[in-house]
Structure formats: C-alpha cells, structure tokens
Copies of this chain bind each other. A is one copy, B any other.
Amino acid sequence: MKDNKDFIIERLKEKGYKLTRQRLDLIDIISGNKTHPSARDLLIEARKRNPSISSSTVYYTLSLLKHEELIKEIEFYDKPNRYDSVTAQHVNLICRKCGRIEDLEDAPLLSFNEISKKTGFEADDIRYEYYGYCKECKKAKK
C-alpha cells in the first residue's frame, strides 16, 4: 500500500512530528505488510535495515501512530498485540493454530447509533472477531 504509507507520512508531517529514519522504516514495514505484525515482528524487520533500533522506539512509534489513528491495534492478553495499517472497521478471523489474522470486510455490524438507541451506551469503537482454524490449518487439524 504505497498510498497508505504516503498518507501516514503526510499526516505526521502535518502534525509536526519529526520524520526520523526509525519512523520511516517502521511506517514502510507496517504498510507493506498484510500479516498484522506484532511489535516484535516489526522490531526484527526494522533491525534488518537499522540494527541499532531499539524495542522502546518501536513501542513509542506504534503508540504514536495509534494515538493519531493511523494504525489499528489488535490486543490479546495471552499473545503479543498485532498492528494493522488498515484502520477501517472490519471483522478479524483469527486462526488458533498458525496465528494468522484474516480480514473480512463485508460483515453486518450494529451501528453505533443502533447501540445508543437500544441501550444508551455511546460506543466509538468495535472489536469483532471469530476464532477458529483457517482453510490451511483446517486440513492439518487432527
């Protein structure tokens, strides 16, 4: 996603953030990656380009991009978080075996408005996931 990458860089520049080598590397990696990488994945990849980058920098940068809503964070308690440069709402299909996370774009969702009317709860974010086994792992499954 070259567009995505440029969009992120543009937005950071607008907001007055410094475009450091570390940030540019990380943005390039994350926007060219469809696998929803973890912080550790990103660190390993970034070190191939710049061995001196630290783990703190990766986390700091991710929290910045997240705060600016330029990436989406998928949180797990029992495994590392994963990051996605696609920020539109969608359903994630998460494979228990290989850990792969697929996107499913066209799922029917209750809108924030519907939730509010029904319950009075004012929602601003969704988490909608299915857990199971992906096509490939399904065969291998006992």
Q: Which residues of A contact B (CB under 8 A)?
A: 75-78, 81, 91, 93, 95, 102, 104, 107-108, 110, 112, 115, 118-135, 138
B131–A126 CB distance below 8 A: yes
Tell me which of B91, B119, B125, B134 contacts A131 (CB under 8 A): B125
B131–A127 CB distance below 8 A: yes
Q: Which 8 A-B pairs have the closest CB atoms?
A: A123-B132, A123-B130, A120-B135, A75-B77, A125-B131, A127-B129, A93-B121, A122-B132
Tell me which of B118, B124, B135 contacts A132 (CB under 8 A): B124
Are A123 and B115 CB-contacts (below 8 A) given A77-B76, A77-B77?
A: no
